[in-house]
Structure 1
Amino acid sequence: MRNRPKVLIIDDSEADRILLHEAIKKAGLEVEVQTARSGEEGVKKANELRPEAIIVLDTLMPGMNGFEACKKIKEMDQDSKVILCTGVVDAVDAAKARAAGADDYCVKTDDYEAVVGAIKSLITS
Structure 2
Amino acid sequence: MTSFKGVKILLVDDEPNIVQFLELGLLNEGFEIKVAYDGDSALLETASFQPHIVILDIMMPGMNGFEVCHALRATGDNIAIIMLTAKDEVEDRVKGLTLGADDYVVKPFSFSELLARIVARLRNQFPNLLGEVVYGPFRLDDRRKEIVYMEQVMELSPTEYDLLRFIIMNNGIVLSKSHILDKVWGYHFGGEENIVEVYIRSLRDKLNDKEHRLIRTLRGAGYRMDLL
Q: Return the TM-score normalized by structure 2.
A: 0.49
Alignment partners' CA distance in 2, 1:76 and 1:6? 18
Percent of residue pairs bearing the same amino acid type? 26
Q: Could you tell me whether the CA contact under 8 Å between 2:5 and 2:30 is conserved in 1?
A: no
Q: Following TM superposition, by how much is the alpha carbon of 1:4 offset from its aligned partner in structure 2, in angstroms?
A: 1.1
Q: Specify the alignment match of 2:19 in structure 1.
A: 17
Farther-moved stretch of structure 1 (40-49 vs 6-15) = 40-49
- SS of alignment partner, residue 104 of structure 2: strand
Q: Could you tell me whether the CA contact under 8 Å between 2:55 and 2:83 is conserved in 1?
A: yes
Moved over 4 A (4+): none
- SS of alignment partner, residue 33 of structure 1: strand
Q: Specify the alignment match of 2:9 in structure 1.
A: 7
Unaligned runs of 5+ in 2: 125-228
Kindly tell me: are residues 70 and 35 of structure 1, through their superposed partners in 2, closer, same or farther at Cα, counting changes over 3 Å?
same
Alignment partners' CA distance in 2, 1:12 and 1:6? 20
Alignment partners' CA distance in 1, 2:67 and 2:104? 14
Alignment partners' CA distance in 2, 1:87 and 1:118? 17
Aligned length: 121
Farther-moved stretch of structure 1 (30-39 vs 104-113) = 104-113
Alignment partners' CA distance in 2, 1:60 and 1:112? 20
Q: Which of the pair has the greater relative contact order for Cα pairs under 8 Å at 6+ separation?
A: 1
Q: Could you tell me whether the CA contact under 8 Å between 1:23 and 1:111 is conserved in 2?
A: no
Q: Specify the alignment match of 1:59 in structure 2.
A: 58
- SS of alignment partner, residue 105 of structure 2: strand
Alignment partners' CA distance in 2, 1:3 and 1:92? 36
- SS of alignment partner, residue 123 of structure 1: helix
- Higher radius of gyration, 1 or 2: 2
Unaligned runs of 5+ in 1: none
Alignment partners' CA distance in 2, 1:22 and 1:3? 15
Q: Following TM superposition, by how much is the alpha carbon of 1:23 offset from its aligned partner in structure 2, in angstroms?
A: 3.1
Alignment partners' CA distance in 2, 1:77 and 1:45? 16
Alignment partners' CA distance in 1, 2:105 and 2:61? 20
Q: CA RMSD in A?
A: 1.9
Q: Return the TM-score normalized by structure 1.
A: 0.86
1:45 aligns with 2:45: yes
Q: Specify the alignment match of 2:190 in structure 1.
A: none
